[in-house]
Amino acid sequence: MLPAPRADLVPNTFDYEMQPLVKATGFREYDARWLFGPEINLLGVQALGLGLGTYIQELGQKRIVVGHDFRAYSLSIKQALTIGLVAAGCEVLDIGLSVSPMAYFAQFDLDAPCVAMVTASHNENGWTGVKMGAQKPLTFGPDEMGRLKEIVLKGEWVQRPGGSVEHVPGVAERYIADAASRANLTRPLKVIAACGNGTAGAFAPEALRRMGVATVIEMDCDLDFTFPKYNPNPEDSVMLHAMADAVRKYGADVALGFDGDGDRCGVVDDEGEEIFADKIGLMLARDLSALHKDATFIVDVKSTGLFATDEVLKANGAKTVYWKTGHSYIKRKTAELGALAGFEKSGHFFFNPPIGRGYDDGLVAAAAILSMLDRNPGKKLSDLKKALPVAYTSLTMSPHCADEEKYGVVDDVVREYTDFANAGGTILGRKITDLVTVNGVRVALEDGSWVLVRASSNKPELVVVVESTQSDDDMRRLFREEVKPRLAKRSQVGAYNQEI
């Protein structure tokens, strides 16, 4: 029997080769992320597989899809995970190299209730992780992750006979065909497919061609797990700037950027301007609410406040619910409320039938965006953007804060803003009208502007977003004169990954 994991093992030692290493901090709110080597070893991944297999058996399941992204170490991690799942008596369906939505698709395609996708998503090389679910199309939330963490760290897994592994061919082709069926374009479009040398490069260009895109220009679509130019993260300014340059160079109608595991989609318009995913979500909500009256949309707390005030949505009878940031939270809320779609500022889009199956898929999002353009043949994407009410929204900025400290820091910030609001405090001369505290704190001001501070769910960071209804300069002041100095008072808060 594999011993219970330890957290104090050091690479290049005898014990490291003989015992599982699993750091508790790797169990996040809705998936798992570790630095491979110093925070988890292969025996630790095997222990994770044993724990996951034991947990899904507790749930009355045993059939599980597994896949892995394109990193130097992901295949070995998936194999270690599979050993643990088999030891727990699970029927493992290995679909090979894949993006996360392909693994979610395979749950439907292969009639498998459970999924374990080995991916670090857009995290830098060195990171690994697993996205898991046991009820399609949902993925684990805090309750499920808490139980899994308990089983793994205490070594409370149960080995069972009857485990098996089947390598299933053909899933990639069926996934591409299914994603492509979500659009049937008649308008000739020139589209940049930007993949940052991540896994999506193997699938996205072909899917876009099958959707009817007249010209697909591949940008960094060759797989290269060293990520030679930048991380495949369409929320990162480096990738967005490269997409903008490509649009201007080729005169493209749009650039679509896919993250490392293909479940997110970033957008740059025909003028080479990035459109954050929440604004794209608002454009899609306008378009779709005209076709589906009285639709409900779910958006995360990082998203623009325009959803709550937009006159087009009101005229179409649409309702918007703000909810916790995180793909698992938005996915679950979208399913719970039977919403037509859910949008997350990081680029996760969730579409329920008839548009999608409820899970986040960068290609299904691309199909929805291209179909919107197809339904507006006389308008460019920049025209649709300019038709939105004006709001100036920042990049997502993330100052370093240790995993062990970030939630305590955010709790303290929530208390501070609550006391400040109750005392009648103002921000840049504006009254505070509302505090949304379902996920950190979103401080709404009387003119519709707002600031947000929350803890990252998958990295040792905080997350900061600000939005102004007044001007770009005012948006920058909200960060530089309000949020940044407030956080700077706390020694646990370090350097930002990017700043406005």
Q: What's the token pair of residue 250? A: 């080729």
Average pLDDT over residues 317-339: 93
Model confidence at 314, pLDDT cuts 50, 70, 90, reads very high
> What digits encode the pLDDT tens for the residues 435-456?
999 889 999 999 989 999 999 9
Name the strand (E) or helix (H) holding 35: strand 32-35
Are 149 and 337 contacting, i.e. CB atoms less than 8 angstroms apart? no
Q: What's the token pair of residue 21? A: 């290493």
Question: Where do the H-state alpha helices sit in 59-141?
Answer: 74-87, 100-109
Percent of the chain with pLDDT over 90: 92
Asked whether residue 309 carries a pLDDT value surpassing 90, the answer given is no
C-alpha span between 351 and 334 (Å, rounded): 8
Asked whether residue 32 carries a pLDDT value surpassing 90, the answer given is yes
User: Residue 354: is the preceding peptide bond cis (ω within 30°)?
Assistant: yes
Please count the CA atoms within 13 angstroms of the CA of 24 that sit on its side-chain side. 11
Model confidence at 75, pLDDT cuts 50, 70, 90, reads very high
> What digits encode the pLDDT tens for the residues 184-212?
999 999 999 999 999 999 999 999 999 99
Number of neighbouring beta carbons within 10 Å of residue 266: 27
Average pLDDT over the chain, rounded to whole?
96
Q: What's the token pair of residue 400? A: 């370093």
Q: What angle do CA 360, 365, 371 make, to 5 degrees?
A: 150
Average pLDDT over residues 136-149: 95
Active site residues: 121
Asked whether residue 308 carries a pLDDT value surpassing 90, the answer given is no
> What digits encode the pLDDT tens for the residues 105-116?
999 999 999 999
Model confidence at 236, pLDDT cuts 50, 70, 90, reads confident
> What digits encode the pLDDT tens for the residues 457-472?
878 999 999 999 999 9
C-alpha span between 493 and 240 (Å, rounded): 26
Q: With CA atoms as reference, report the closest residue to 52 among 123, 118, 126.
A: 118
Q: With CA atoms as reference, report the closest residue to 173 among 202, 215, 139, 143.
A: 202
Structure confidence at residue 1 (pLDDT): 84
Structure confidence at residue 122 (pLDDT): 84
Q: What's the token pair of residue 193? A: 């497919």
